[in-house]
């Protein structure tokens, strides 16, 4: 049932994450308009009552709050500032919420372009992968105008459990890049512990059980460790995408004079995973790179 008192929401990008997220907004009673480059991906939501637009501009014209969930910096630039982009259809007073993970500087530039049209951009990347998207348990990190953030917070609450305002435009992306440093370097530690256990004759499942009650416990160990043991490399979050995120971290390092040796190393190791054909697999396939180095194939 649609309650017209709820702001009309637009959603652009219906991939592994976007489709379930858009579904939660529909269930929350918001009128929803969607757009996706591959139109077939809109069918499921259309059947549930969403309208389908022919372009990002078409979504913007019908939406008070517009969410973007696409893969990379150039995709967001295309959606917002390209031909038939959001800027061509945006209405004054609207808020665009970019939940993709992209370069912080790009978010600042797009925010300025939207402000010139009387609208705002909130950068609100997420952590929690496909499971978090399906369960509406994402961690959301937001940057941008504080009033605009408060305006979209009720919609974000339909998608995530933890919503943190991080500061001015670009701050959400910076928090997300910190998240990617932590998850990647931690996953490297998990992978090394599993390889060490196997090579030295300790059952890796027993190892996880033994250490999970102590200081070594982590989300990566509990959730991804068993998947590595089971050889389940299905993409909850793809290697290609974590590589893109780590590239953004290292680009930001270059401009801010930051030295992150462990992040540089894990970026190289994920590069090996891609070279061995694991780009579209989940991040746990990092373990296969470590196994190759130790002759465990």
Q: What amino acid positions are annotated as catalytic residues?
A: 176
Chain-centroid distance, C-alpha 41: 18
Whole-angstrom distance, CA of residue 51 vs CA of residue 179: 34
User: Helices 171-199 and 286-293, interaxial angle, to 10°?
Assistant: 40
Of 17, 267, 239, 224, nearest in space to 129 by CA:
17
DSSP secondary structure letter of residue 282: B
Answer yes or no: are the C-beta atoms of 228 and 191 closer than 8 Å. yes
What separation in angstroms does the CA of 222 have from each of 52, 148, 233?
Answer: 39, 37, 15
Task: Write out the DSSP string of 208-277.
Answer: HHHHTTTTT--HIIIIIHHHHHHT----SSBHHHHHHHHHHHHHHHHHHT---HHHHHHHHHHHHHHHTT
Structure tokens at 235: 């993409």
Residue 247: Cβ within 10 Å count: 14
DSSP secondary structure letter of residue 72: S
Answer yes or no: are the C-beta atoms of 224 and 284 closer than 8 Å. yes
Identify the three-state secondary structure at position 295.
coil
Identify the three-state secondary structure at position 112.
helix
């Amino acid at each position: 049932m649609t309650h017209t008192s709820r702001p009309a929401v637009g959603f652009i990008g219906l991939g592994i994450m976007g489709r379930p997220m858009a579904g939660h907004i529909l269930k929350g009673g918001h009128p929803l308009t969607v757009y996706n480059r591959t139109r077939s991906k809109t069918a499921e939501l259309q059947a549930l009552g969403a309208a389908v637009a022919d372009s990002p501009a078409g979504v913007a014209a019908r939406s008070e709050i517009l969410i973007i969930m696409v893969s990379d910096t150039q995709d967001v630039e295309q959606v917002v500032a390209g031909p038939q982009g959001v800027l061509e259809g945006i209405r004054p007073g609207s808020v665009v919420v970019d939940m993709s993970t992209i370069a912080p500087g790009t978010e600042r530039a797009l925010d300025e372009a939207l402000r010139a049209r009387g609208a705002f951009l909130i950068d609100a990347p997420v952590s929690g992968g496909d499971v978090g998207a399906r369960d509406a348990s994402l961690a959301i990190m937001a940057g941008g105008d504080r009033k605009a953030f408060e305006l979209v917070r009720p919609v974000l609450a339909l998608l995530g459990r933890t919503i943190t305002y991080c500061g001015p435009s670009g701050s959400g992306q910076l928090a997300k890049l910190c998240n990617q440093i932590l998850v990647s370097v931690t996953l490297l530690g998990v992978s090394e512990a599993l390889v060490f256990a196997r090579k030295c004759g300790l059952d890796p499942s027993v190892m996880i059980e033994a250490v999970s009650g102590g200081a070594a416990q982590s989300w990566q160990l509990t959730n991804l460790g068993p998947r590595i043991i089971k050889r389940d490399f299905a993409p909850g979050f793809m290697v290609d995408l974590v590589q893109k995120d780590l590239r953004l971290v290292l680009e930001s390092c270059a401009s801010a004079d930051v030295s992150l040796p462990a992040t540089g190393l894990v970026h190289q190791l994920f590069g090996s995973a891609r070279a061995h054909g694991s780009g579209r697999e989940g991040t746990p396939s990092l373990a296969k790179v470590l196994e190759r180095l130790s002759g465990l194939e």
